Amino acid sequence: MEIPDERPIWSMSGNELLTALDTNEAAIARLQADRIRMIARLDEIGHAQHLGATTTAELLAMRYRLDRRDAHREVKLARTLPRYTTVSAALPNPAGPLETPVLRPAQAQAIVLTLETVPDRVPVENIVVAEQQLVNLAQHLSPGELRKAGKEIRDLLDSDGPEPAEEKAYERESLTLTDADHGVAFRGFVANENAELLRSLVHAHARPHKTADGELDPRSREKRQADALTTTLTIAAAAAESGAVPGVGAKANITVTIDLQDLTAATADAIGHVVYGDALSAATIRRLACDAKIIPLILGSNSEPLDVGRAERLVTPAMRRALNARDKGCVICAAPPISCDAHHLRSWIDGGETSINNLALICRRHHTALHAGHWTITITNGKVHV
| The 3-state secondary structure of 63-88, one letter per residue | HHCCCHHHHHHHHHHHHHHHHCHHHH
Tens-place pLDDT, residues 354-375: 888 888 888 877 777 776 666 7
Strand 271-274 and strand 280-281: the pairing is: antiparallel
In the prediction, which pLDDT does 311 show? Answer: 63
Confirm if 329 and 337 have CB atoms less than 8 A apart. Answer: yes
Confirm if 332 and 357 have CB atoms less than 8 A apart. Answer: no
The size of the chain, in residues, is: 386
Tell me which of 240 and 198 has the higher pLDDT: 198
In the prediction, which pLDDT does 372 show? Answer: 65
- Give the helix ranges, DSSP H, for the chain: 14-45, 47-50, 56-64, 68-80, 85-90, 105-115, 124-137, 143-157, 163-171, 192-205, 221-241, 260-265, 282-288, 317-327, 364-371
Tell me which of 278 and 135 has the higher pLDDT: 135
Question: Sign of dihedral through CA atoms 251, 169, 111, 66?
Answer: positive
Task: Give the integer Cα–Cα distance in Å for 182 and 33.
Answer: 47
Residue 4, pLDDT above cutoff 70: no
Q: Which residues pair with 183 in a beta bridge?
A: 180
Split at pLDDT 50, 70, 90, the class of 5 is low
Sort 57 into a burial class: Cβ within 10 Å, 0-12 / 13-18 / 19+.
buried
Residue 212, pLDDT above cutoff 90: no
Q: Which residues pair with 185 in a beta bridge?
A: 178
Tell me which of 85 and 250 has the higher pLDDT: 85
Q: What is the DSSP letter of 219?
A: S
**61 CB-near residues (< 8 Å, 6+ apart):** 67, 68, 70, 71
In the prediction, which pLDDT does 64 show? Answer: 94
Please count the other Cβ atoms lying within 10 Å of the Cβ belonging to residue 58: 18
Split at pLDDT 50, 70, 90, the class of 160 is low
In the prediction, which pLDDT does 306 show? Answer: 62
Q: Which residues pair with 271 in a beta bridge?
A: 281
Tell me which of 268 and 147 has the higher pLDDT: 147
In the prediction, which pLDDT does 249 show? Answer: 54
**367 CB-near residues (< 8 Å, 6+ apart):** 287, 290, 340, 341, 343
In the prediction, which pLDDT does 232 show? Answer: 82
**373 CB-near residues (< 8 Å, 6+ apart):** none
Q: Average pLDDT, stretch 177-198?
A: 87
Task: Give the integer Cα–Cα distance in Å for 272 and 255.
Answer: 10
Residue 80, pLDDT above cutoff 50: yes
Please count the other Cβ atoms lying within 10 Å of the Cβ belonging to residue 52: 9
State which amino acid sits at residue 309.
G
Sort 291 into a burial class: Cβ within 10 Å, 0-12 / 13-18 / 19+.
buried
Give the end-to-end CA distance of the chain in Å, rounded to a whole number.
Answer: 71
In the prediction, which pLDDT does 137 show? Answer: 93
| Mean per-residue pLDDT over the chain, rounded | 82
Residue 3, pLDDT above cutoff 60: no
Tens-place pLDDT, residues 46-77: 999 989 889 999 999 999 999 999 999 999 99
Task: Give the integer Cα–Cα distance in Å for 336 and 361.
Answer: 9
Tens-place pLDDT, residues 200-210: 888 888 888 77
In the prediction, which pLDDT does 250 show? Answer: 44
In the prediction, which pLDDT does 90 show? Answer: 92
Q: What is the DSSP letter of 175?
A: E
Task: Give the integer Cα–Cα distance in Å for 149 and 35.
Answer: 26
**370 CB-near residues (< 8 Å, 6+ apart):** 332, 343, 362, 377
For the chain, percent of residues with pLDDT exceeding 70: 83
In the prediction, which pLDDT does 274 show? Answer: 76
Mapped onto helix, strand or coil, the DSSP state of residue 312 is strand
Tens-place pLDDT, residues 240-263: 655 556 666 545 567 777 777 777
In the prediction, which pLDDT does 2 show? Answer: 47
Residue 119, pLDDT above cutoff 60: yes
Residue 330, pLDDT above cutoff 70: yes
Note the Cα 341 to chain centre separation in Å: 23
Mapped onto helix, strand or coil, the DSSP state of residue 176 is strand
Tell me which of 266 and 183 has the higher pLDDT: 183
> Between the CA of residue 249 and those of 143, 185, 206, 299, what are the distances in Å?
38, 29, 21, 28
Tens-place pLDDT, residues 13-41: 888 889 888 888 888 999 999 999 999 99
Q: Average pLDDT, stretch 104-121?
A: 89
Residue 97, pLDDT above cutoff 60: yes
Task: Give the integer Cα–Cα distance in Å for 171 and 177.
Answer: 19
Mapped onto helix, strand or coil, the DSSP state of residue 12 is coil
Round the CA-based radius of gyration of the chain to a whole number and report it. 26
